[in-house]
């Protein structure tokens, strides 16, 4: 309100007092701007809360990245995903080609983790939002999906919920402009389509989280 109308804040004990609209055009403009502010608050406040929470955990991860360095983060990801790939091959006795698929997904996760660390350190805020957060989401989402594609026992835990989520998104979110009809007519959710779906989700989700952190920094700058 203070951006447009004078004397709106901190005037409780002022001789002049808080300004209030008097004429009809002033009242219309005043209350319209107030309603717009309420709508903005309802939208931006949850994003700010999400941004504050994301910033807290991102700061923890960034602190770990600072201590380990980019090479250290890459090494940890390599050891972690490499170990999981070997365990999946040895204990589950999956075919060698399936092991290669899991290893390939792990490699994507490792590369995504490294790219997230690099863009976060050298790219600044804009590049962090544009690439670092999406790469982090890719490292989180992609390997389980690829592992489930080559391991039937994982289907109920990864692919089935993914299918249900896709149906819900098509019926409730992607109805605008007939996007759901176009996707249903031209694509089938099977095989690599699951990978494409989660890859497509990871980037917008990363942008949302990165944008929420940026908004949180504007509303409440970090102590640093």
Contact 105, 134 (CB under 8 A): no
Q: By mean pLDDT, which of 96-105, 140-149, 164-173, 179-188 is the weakest?
A: 96-105
Per-residue pLDDT for 78 more than 70?
no
Q: What is the pTM of this model?
A: 0.63
Task: Cite the DSSP H helix spans in the chain.
Answer: 24-91, 96-122, 124-127, 133-150, 159-172, 179-186, 192-219
How far is Cα 101 from Cα 94, in angstroms, rounded to an integer? 11
How far is Cα 70 from Cα 75, in angstroms, rounded to an integer? 9
How far is Cα 132 from Cα 206, in angstroms, rounded to an integer? 8
pLDDT at position 208: 86
pLDDT at position 206: 84
How far is Cα 182 from Cα 6, in angstroms, rounded to an integer? 51
Share of the chain above pLDDT 90, in %: 0
Mean pLDDT value across the chain? 75
φ/ψ (deg, to 5) at 80: -65, -55
Cβ count within 10 A of residue 218: 11
pLDDT at position 173: 82
Region 4-21 average pLDDT: 67
Name, of 23-32, 47-56, 133-142, 150-159, the range with top average pLDDT. Answer: 23-32
Cβ count within 10 A of residue 73: 23
């Amino acid at each position: 309100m203070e951006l447009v109308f004078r004397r709106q804040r901190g005037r409780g004990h002022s001789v002049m007092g808080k300004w209030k609209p008097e004429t009809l055009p002033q009242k219309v403009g005043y209350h319209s701007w107030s309603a717009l502010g309420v709508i903005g608050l309802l939208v931006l406040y949850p994003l700010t809360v999400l941004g504050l929470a994301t910033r807290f955990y991102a700061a923890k991860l960034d602190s770990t990245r600072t201590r380990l360095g980019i090479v250290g983060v890459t090494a940890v990801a390599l050891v972690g995903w490499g170990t999981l790939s070997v365990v999946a091959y040895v204990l589950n006795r999956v075919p060698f080609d399936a092991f290669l698929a899991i290893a390939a997904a792990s490699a994507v996760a490792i590369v995504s983790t490294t790219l997230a660390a690099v863009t976060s350190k050298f790219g600044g805020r804009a590049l962090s939002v544009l690439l670092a957060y999406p790469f982090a989401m890719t490292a989180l989402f992609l390997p389980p999906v690829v592992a489930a594609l080559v391991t039937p026992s994982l289907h109920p835990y990864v692919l089935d919920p993914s299918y249900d989520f896709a149906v819900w998104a098509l019926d409730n979110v992607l109805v605008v402009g007939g996007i759901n009809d176009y996707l249903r007519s031209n694509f089938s959710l099977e095989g690599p389509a699951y990978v494409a779906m989660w890859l497509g989700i990871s980037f917008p989700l990363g942008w949302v989280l990165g944008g929420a952190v940026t908004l949180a920094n504007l509303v409440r700058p970090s102590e640093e």
